[in-house]
Amino acid sequence: MMSIKENLEKIRESLPKEVTLVAVSKTKTNEEILEAYAAGQRIFGENKVQELTRKWELLPEDIEWHMIGHLQRNKVKYMAPYVALVHGVDSLRLLKEIDKQAKKENRIIPCLLQMHIAEEDTKFGLNEIELDEILGYEHLEHVKIMGLMGMATFTTDEQQIRKEFRKLKAYYERLKEKLPQANILSMGMSGDYEIAIEEGSTMVRIGSSIFGARNII
């Protein structure tokens, strides 16, 4: 079995230099995260606020913590002081709550809007109409929309995955016309990041290919 360091190096070599790697460390121990840290990784992603906060408290201060999972509004306050990027914003109500908590912390929280691109209805995300609704709402001064995030259908059908990523890229191009600051397209995980990069991803979220399989989800 390859070490975390070796896995990281292999993935880094395969990424174009303009693509940012988020190491998804959910369910992994502080020791495992420190191994990736020692190999130079500084951006980590988690999908549960409680776990994220526990790790933020104990691990090096220069780690940039990304929230990549589905987020409940009542949990936003716990991560508002430190979260570097929220990937999964899938409603205006949630965005408003992030804005409110960011204001209390006297900061601006960078966010990505999560689009629904997969065929499964289990995956969260906005449709085109909801996206326009959020973009039309201009009263939020403590969040900054930096781009889009999406998850493709979990399938071995490459064409299906490619089609979904293309759709997300098209939404992203439209978003950039309205928001020139937007420069992040978060798409691609261990199983599909190569396709995602071919389709224009600027940020990949990779867990199991770095840290090994997870026992618990």
Ligand X SMILES: *Cc1c(COP(=O)(O)O)cnc(C)c1O
In the region spanning residues 32 to 91, those forming contacts with ligand X, defined by CB under 6 A, are: 47, 68-69
Smallest Cα–Cα separation from 99: which of 91, 89, 90, 109? 109
Nearer to ligand X, 7 or 53 (CB): 7
Nearer to ligand X, 63 or 140 (CB): 63
207 binds ligand X (CB under 6 A): yes
Stretch that binds ligand X, among 54-62, 74-82, 127-135, 186-194 (CB under 6 A): 186-194
Binding residue count for ligand X, defined by CB under 6 A: 14
* Shortest spacing between CB 116 and ligand X, in angstroms: 13
212 binds ligand X (CB under 6 A): no
Each as own residue / partner, the long-range contacts of residues 94-102 (CB below 8 Å, 24 or more positions apart, any chain) are: 95/134, 95/140, 95/143, 96/140, 97/73, 98/142, 98/143, 99/140, 99/141, 99/142, 99/143, 100/142, 101/76, 101/77, 102/142, 102/143
Nearer to ligand X, 160 or 190 (CB): 190
8 A C-beta contact, residue 181 and residue 164:
no
* Shortest spacing between CB 104 and ligand X, in angstroms: 26
Question: What distance in Å separates the CA atoms of residue 191 and residue 208, rounded to the nearest whole number?
Answer: 9
Nearer to ligand X, 140 or 207 (CB): 207
Chain CA centroid to CA 211, Å:
17
Identity of residue 102: A
Nearer to ligand X, 66 or 169 (CB): 66
Partners of 126 in the beta sheet? Answer: 115
Provide the binding-site residues for ligand X, judged by CB under 6 A: 24, 26, 47, 68-69, 151, 189-191, 205-209
